[in-house]
Protein backbone atom coordinates (compact mmCIF):
# COMPACT_ATOMS: atom_id res chain seq x y z
CA UNK A 1 0.00 0.00 0.00
CA UNK A 2 1.53 3.37 -1.02
CA UNK A 3 2.10 5.91 1.71
CA UNK A 4 0.06 9.10 1.53
CA UNK A 5 1.96 12.32 0.84
CA UNK A 6 2.32 14.68 3.77
CA UNK A 7 -0.26 17.45 4.13
CA UNK A 8 0.99 20.95 4.89
CA UNK A 9 -1.16 23.68 6.49
CA UNK A 10 -1.79 26.99 4.77
CA UNK A 11 1.03 28.77 6.59
CA UNK A 12 3.78 26.25 5.87
CA UNK A 13 5.14 25.39 2.45
CA UNK A 14 7.21 22.27 1.94
CA UNK A 15 10.79 22.34 0.65
CA UNK A 16 10.43 21.77 -3.12
CA UNK A 17 13.95 20.33 -3.40
CA UNK A 18 13.16 17.71 -0.74
CA UNK A 19 9.92 16.85 -2.55
CA UNK A 20 11.85 16.28 -5.79
CA UNK A 21 13.97 13.68 -3.98
CA UNK A 22 10.86 12.02 -2.56
CA UNK A 23 9.29 11.83 -6.02
CA UNK A 24 12.44 10.22 -7.43
CA UNK A 25 12.21 7.57 -4.68
CA UNK A 26 8.50 7.00 -5.43
CA UNK A 27 9.05 6.74 -9.18
CA UNK A 28 12.21 4.61 -9.32
CA UNK A 29 10.46 1.23 -8.80
CA UNK A 30 7.89 2.09 -11.50
CA UNK A 31 10.15 3.08 -14.39
CA UNK A 32 11.58 0.80 -17.06
CA UNK A 33 13.86 1.40 -20.05
CA UNK A 34 10.70 2.05 -22.11
CA UNK A 35 9.16 4.64 -19.75
CA UNK A 36 8.76 8.10 -21.26
CA UNK A 37 8.26 11.40 -19.45
CA UNK A 38 6.47 14.56 -20.56
CA UNK A 39 6.52 17.85 -18.63
CA UNK A 40 3.77 20.47 -18.81
CA UNK A 41 5.19 23.96 -19.37
CA UNK A 42 6.43 25.79 -17.36
CA UNK A 43 6.78 24.47 -13.81
CA UNK A 44 5.99 20.90 -14.82
CA UNK A 45 8.76 21.06 -17.41
CA UNK A 46 11.24 22.25 -14.77
CA UNK A 47 10.24 19.39 -12.49
CA UNK A 48 10.30 16.88 -15.36
CA UNK A 49 13.84 17.94 -16.30
CA UNK A 50 15.02 17.18 -12.77
CA UNK A 51 13.14 13.87 -12.47
CA UNK A 52 14.19 12.71 -15.94
CA UNK A 53 17.87 13.36 -15.17
CA UNK A 54 17.71 11.82 -11.66
CA UNK A 55 15.96 8.68 -12.92
CA UNK A 56 18.33 8.33 -15.89
CA UNK A 57 15.50 7.78 -18.38
CA UNK A 58 16.79 6.83 -21.83
CA UNK A 59 13.88 8.18 -23.88
CA UNK A 60 14.24 11.94 -24.51
CA UNK A 61 12.07 14.21 -22.39
CA UNK A 62 8.88 15.57 -23.96
CA UNK A 63 7.33 19.00 -23.38
CA UNK A 64 3.71 20.12 -23.68
CA UNK A 65 2.59 23.73 -23.88
CA UNK A 66 -1.15 23.30 -23.47
CA UNK A 67 -2.10 26.94 -24.16
CA UNK A 68 -4.24 26.09 -27.21
CA UNK A 69 -5.94 23.19 -25.38
CA UNK A 70 -7.11 25.13 -22.33
CA UNK A 71 -10.87 25.48 -21.89
CA UNK A 72 -10.35 29.18 -21.06
CA UNK A 73 -8.27 29.90 -24.19
CA UNK A 74 -10.96 32.05 -25.82
CA UNK A 75 -11.21 34.29 -22.75
CA UNK A 76 -7.49 34.43 -21.92
CA UNK A 77 -6.22 34.76 -25.51
CA UNK A 78 -2.81 34.01 -26.96
CA UNK A 79 0.08 34.59 -24.60
CA UNK A 80 3.47 35.80 -25.83
CA UNK A 81 5.14 32.93 -23.98
CA UNK A 82 3.41 30.13 -25.95
CA UNK A 83 6.01 27.68 -27.24
CA UNK A 84 5.51 24.65 -29.45
CA UNK A 85 5.08 21.28 -27.78
CA UNK A 86 7.82 18.74 -28.41
CA UNK A 87 7.30 14.98 -28.14
CA UNK A 88 10.51 13.36 -29.46
CA UNK A 89 9.28 9.76 -29.23
CA UNK A 90 6.45 7.57 -30.48
CA UNK A 91 3.55 7.91 -28.03
CA UNK A 92 1.67 4.82 -29.26
CA UNK A 93 1.59 1.92 -26.78
CA UNK A 94 4.05 3.61 -24.40
CA UNK A 95 3.91 4.12 -20.62
CA UNK A 96 4.14 7.86 -20.00
CA UNK A 97 4.73 9.86 -16.84
CA UNK A 98 2.94 13.21 -17.23
CA UNK A 99 4.57 15.77 -14.93
CA UNK A 100 3.15 19.02 -13.57
CA UNK A 101 4.16 21.24 -10.68
CA UNK A 102 0.81 21.89 -8.96
CA UNK A 103 -2.44 19.94 -9.32
CA UNK A 104 -5.37 22.21 -8.61
CA UNK A 105 -8.68 22.01 -10.52
CA UNK A 106 -7.64 19.26 -12.94
CA UNK A 107 -8.20 21.46 -16.01
CA UNK A 108 -4.51 21.68 -16.90
CA UNK A 109 -4.25 17.89 -16.74
CA UNK A 110 -7.32 17.48 -18.94
CA UNK A 111 -5.84 19.86 -21.52
CA UNK A 112 -2.49 18.03 -21.41
CA UNK A 113 -4.17 14.65 -21.95
CA UNK A 114 -6.12 16.05 -24.91
CA UNK A 115 -2.91 17.26 -26.53
CA UNK A 116 -0.95 14.12 -25.67
CA UNK A 117 -3.59 11.92 -27.32
CA UNK A 118 -3.26 14.01 -30.49
CA UNK A 119 0.24 12.48 -30.75
CA UNK A 120 -1.00 8.89 -30.39
CA UNK A 121 -2.50 6.37 -27.99
CA UNK A 122 -0.27 5.61 -24.99
CA UNK A 123 -0.53 2.31 -23.11
CA UNK A 124 -0.80 4.25 -19.84
CA UNK A 125 -0.41 7.77 -18.50
CA UNK A 126 0.39 8.40 -14.83
CA UNK A 127 0.25 11.90 -13.40
CA UNK A 128 3.21 13.08 -11.29
CA UNK A 129 2.90 16.34 -9.31
CA UNK A 130 5.10 18.13 -6.84
CA UNK A 131 2.13 19.55 -4.92
CA UNK A 132 -1.58 18.70 -4.86
CA UNK A 133 -3.95 21.44 -3.70
CA UNK A 134 -6.74 18.85 -3.38
CA UNK A 135 -9.40 21.22 -4.76
CA UNK A 136 -10.59 19.42 -7.89
CA UNK A 137 -13.25 20.54 -10.35
CA UNK A 138 -12.69 17.53 -12.63
CA UNK A 139 -12.23 13.83 -11.78
CA UNK A 140 -8.41 13.89 -11.99
CA UNK A 141 -5.98 12.30 -9.53
CA UNK A 142 -2.20 12.07 -9.46
CA UNK A 143 -0.57 8.69 -8.90
CA UNK A 144 2.69 10.21 -7.62
CA UNK A 145 2.49 13.25 -5.29
CA UNK A 146 5.24 15.05 -3.39
CA UNK A 147 2.90 16.72 -0.87
CA UNK A 148 -0.66 17.94 -0.38
CA UNK A 149 -0.69 21.66 0.35
CA UNK A 150 -3.63 23.66 1.71
CA UNK A 151 -3.71 27.09 0.07
CA UNK A 152 -5.48 30.15 1.53
CA UNK A 153 -8.45 31.54 -0.43
CA UNK A 154 -7.42 34.15 -3.00
CA UNK A 155 -3.93 32.70 -3.44
CA UNK A 156 -2.23 30.45 -5.94
CA UNK A 157 0.62 28.04 -5.34
CA UNK A 158 3.52 28.66 -7.71
CA UNK A 159 6.73 26.79 -8.46
CA UNK A 160 9.71 29.05 -8.96
CA UNK A 161 13.22 28.36 -10.19
CA UNK A 162 16.15 30.60 -9.37
CA UNK A 163 19.20 31.32 -11.54
CA UNK A 164 20.95 28.23 -10.14
CA UNK A 165 18.04 25.90 -10.96
CA UNK A 166 16.88 25.58 -7.34
CA UNK A 167 13.12 24.99 -7.10
CA UNK A 168 10.89 26.58 -4.45
CA UNK A 169 7.15 26.75 -3.81
CA UNK A 170 5.59 30.15 -3.13
CA UNK A 171 2.16 31.57 -2.39
CA UNK A 172 1.04 34.32 -4.72
CA UNK A 173 -2.00 36.58 -4.34
CA UNK A 174 -4.34 36.01 -7.30
CA UNK A 175 -5.31 39.18 -9.15
CA UNK A 176 -8.57 37.60 -10.32
CA UNK A 177 -9.58 37.24 -6.66
CA UNK A 178 -9.56 41.01 -6.17
CA UNK A 179 -6.12 40.99 -4.57
CA UNK A 180 -3.27 43.37 -5.21
CA UNK A 181 -0.06 41.85 -6.56
CA UNK A 182 2.01 41.07 -3.48
CA UNK A 183 4.30 38.08 -3.98
CA UNK A 184 4.65 35.95 -0.87
CA UNK A 185 7.52 33.75 -2.00
CA UNK A 186 11.26 33.42 -1.61
CA UNK A 187 13.29 36.41 -2.71
CA UNK A 188 15.28 36.13 -5.90
CA UNK A 189 12.96 33.45 -7.27
CA UNK A 190 12.35 33.11 -10.98
CA UNK A 191 8.97 33.56 -12.56
CA UNK A 192 6.41 30.84 -11.89
CA UNK A 193 3.45 29.84 -14.05
Domain CATH number, residue 94? 3.40.50.2020
The C-alpha atoms of residue 102 and residue 38 are separated, in whole angstroms, by 15
Which residue, among 117, 72, 125, 62, has the nearest Cα to 96 in the 3D structure? 125
Q: Is residue 117 part of a domain?
A: yes
Which residue, among 149, 191, 157, 192, has the nearest Cα to 174 in the 3D structure? 157
Q: Is residue 193 part of a domain?
A: no
pLDDT of residue 177: 54
Q: Is residue 45 part of a domain?
A: yes
Give how many domains the chain has, as a whole number.
1
The pTM for the full model equals: 0.83
Whether 137 contacts 109, CB under 8 Å: no
1, HSE (Cβ side, Cα atoms, 13 Å)? 2
Q: Is residue 185 part of a domain?
A: no
Where in the sequence is the domain holding 122, given as residue range(s)? 7-69+84-177
pLDDT of residue 16: 97
Q: What is the mean pLDDT of residues 121-142?
A: 97
Amino acid sequence: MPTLPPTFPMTTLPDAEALVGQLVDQLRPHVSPDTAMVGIATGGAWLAERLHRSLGLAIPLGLLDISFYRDDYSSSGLKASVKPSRIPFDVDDRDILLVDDVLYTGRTTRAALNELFDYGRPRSVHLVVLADRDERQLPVAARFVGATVRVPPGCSLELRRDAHGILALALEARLDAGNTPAPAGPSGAGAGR
